[in-house]
Amino acid sequence: MNIALGQWSVSREWQENANTIIQLMQDADRQGARLLVLPEAVLARDNQDSQWVIEAAQALDGPFIQQLLAASQTLGVTTLFTLHVPAGENKARNVLVALRGGEILLTYDKIHLYDAFTVRESDKVIAGHTLPPLLQVDEFKVGVMTCYDLRFPEMARALALQGAELLVLPAAWLKGANKELHWELLTRARALENTCYLAASGECGVKNIGHSLVVDPLGLVIAQAGERPQLIFAQLDKAHLTAVREQLPVLQNCRLSSASPQVLSPGD
C-alpha cells in the first residue's frame, strides 16, 4: 500500500489551512496514495497567541471539515489529522478525524494531554477517555494516536493487540533540546516493539520540528521529511509485516496485560 505524509507550517487562518490540505489530498491521490497522514491541530495556529487554537476551534459540522469532506468525495485517499473542536467553558477537544469519500470514518479525542516541558495542554483541552477503534484502509488495519500518546507504550500495545498493523500519529512535536532524538527514538521503538508499521506526521515551522517519518515493523526508517513543508511517500508491504511477525512473535509471546502490569496465567 502506498501512503503519504504531508507537513507544513499551520497558518492562523483556517481557510489557508483548508486550501493546503485539499491540495495535499489531491496530490497524494494523484500519486496513488491510499492513506494521507497530516499533522496535529491543523485548523489554525498562532505562534504568538496560544489561546488562538481555542478561539478558532470549529465543530465537526463547521465549514473547515465540510470543505474537506466535499473535496474528498471524488478521491480514493483516506486522510487523517487533528483539529480543535469547541467543548464549552473556554476549552476544546483535540479530535483526530479520518475521512474518505465525503464521509467521516472515525473520530478520536486525544487521551494523553501534553502537560510536560513547561507546557500544559490540559489548561485548554479536555482529555479523551476511550481508546479509538481500528480503521480499515485497503488490506491494513490502522490504529490511531495523537502526538504525546507516542510516549505511552501501553496505548500502542493495546492497539496492536486489537489487531493494528499500522500505527498513525498526527503530531506537533515541539522543538527543544534532543527533541528530534526523542521523536525518532520513540517512533522506531513503538514500531519495533509492536511489529507494526508506523507513520508519524509532524507540523514544521517556527515551533515544531517537522521530520515526518515512516518506520517499518523492524524499527527501520523507510521514509523521512526534513524541516520544511513536504509531501513524502512510502510503500507498505503486508507480506513483509507477516514475515516479521513470524520471526519476531512478540505479540503472541507477551504475557503481560496491556491494562495492568500483571503476569497472565498460562492459557490467558
With respect to residue 263, please indicate whether it lies within any of the assigned structural domains.
no
With respect to residue 235, please indicate whether it lies within any of the assigned structural domains.
yes
Mean pLDDT, the chain, whole residue set:
94
CB atoms within 10 A of CB 38: 29
Residue 21: which of 4, 38, 40 has the closest Cα? 38
With respect to residue 258, please indicate whether it lies within any of the assigned structural domains.
no
40 is catalytic: yes
Tens digits of residue pLDDT in 169-180 = 999 999 999 999
Which pLDDT belongs to residue 48?
A: 87
Examine the pLDDT at 86 and tell me if it is beyond 70.
Answer: yes
Tens digits of residue pLDDT in 105-132 = 999 999 999 999 999 999 999 999 999 9
Tens digits of residue pLDDT in 129-157 = 999 999 999 999 999 999 999 999 999 99
Examine the pLDDT at 5 and tell me if it is beyond 90.
Answer: yes
Percentage of residues in the chain having pLDDT higher than 90: 91
Which pLDDT belongs to residue 267?
A: 44
Q: Which of 124, 147, 165, 196 is catalytic?
A: 147
Examine the pLDDT at 259 and tell me if it is beyond 70.
Answer: no
Q: Which of 13, 16, 40, 193 is catalytic?
A: 40
Please report the DSSP string for 3-61 in residue order: EEEEE----SSHHHHHHHHHHHHHHHHHTT-SEEE--SS-S---TT-TTHHHHT---TT
With respect to residue 123, please indicate whether it lies within any of the assigned structural domains.
yes
CA distance 7 to 169: 12
- What distances in angstroms separate CA 239 from CA 28, 123, 140, 190, one per listed residue? 23, 45, 11, 20
DSSP code of residue 182: H
CB atoms within 10 A of CB 257: 15
With respect to residue 126, please indicate whether it lies within any of the assigned structural domains.
yes
The arithmetic mean of pLDDT across residues 49-65, rounded, is 94
Which pLDDT belongs to residue 50?
A: 84
Which pTM value belongs to this model? Answer: 0.94
Examine the pLDDT at 264 and tell me if it is beyond 70.
Answer: no
Q: How far apart are the first and last CA of the chain?
A: 34
CA distance 82 to 108: 9
Which pLDDT belongs to residue 255?
A: 85
Sorting pLDDT into bands at 50, 70 and 90, what band is 266?
Answer: very low
What is the domain count for the chain? 1
- What distances in angstroms separate CA 119 from CA 147, 167, 259, one per listed residue? 14, 25, 27
With respect to residue 264, please indicate whether it lies within any of the assigned structural domains.
no
Which pLDDT belongs to residue 81?
A: 98
Which pLDDT belongs to residue 261?
A: 44
Q: CATH number, domain at 232? A: 3.60.110.10
Q: Domain span at residue 39? A: 2-245
CA distance 27 to 23: 6
Examine the pLDDT at 21 and tell me if it is beyond 50.
Answer: yes
With respect to residue 19, please indicate whether it lies within any of the assigned structural domains.
yes
Which pLDDT belongs to residue 167?
A: 98
Which pLDDT belongs to residue 257?
A: 66
With respect to residue 63, please indicate whether it lies within any of the assigned structural domains.
yes
The arithmetic mean of pLDDT across residues 56-68, rounded, is 98
Residue 40: which of 160, 191, 207 has the closest Cα? 207
Which pLDDT belongs to residue 256?
A: 76
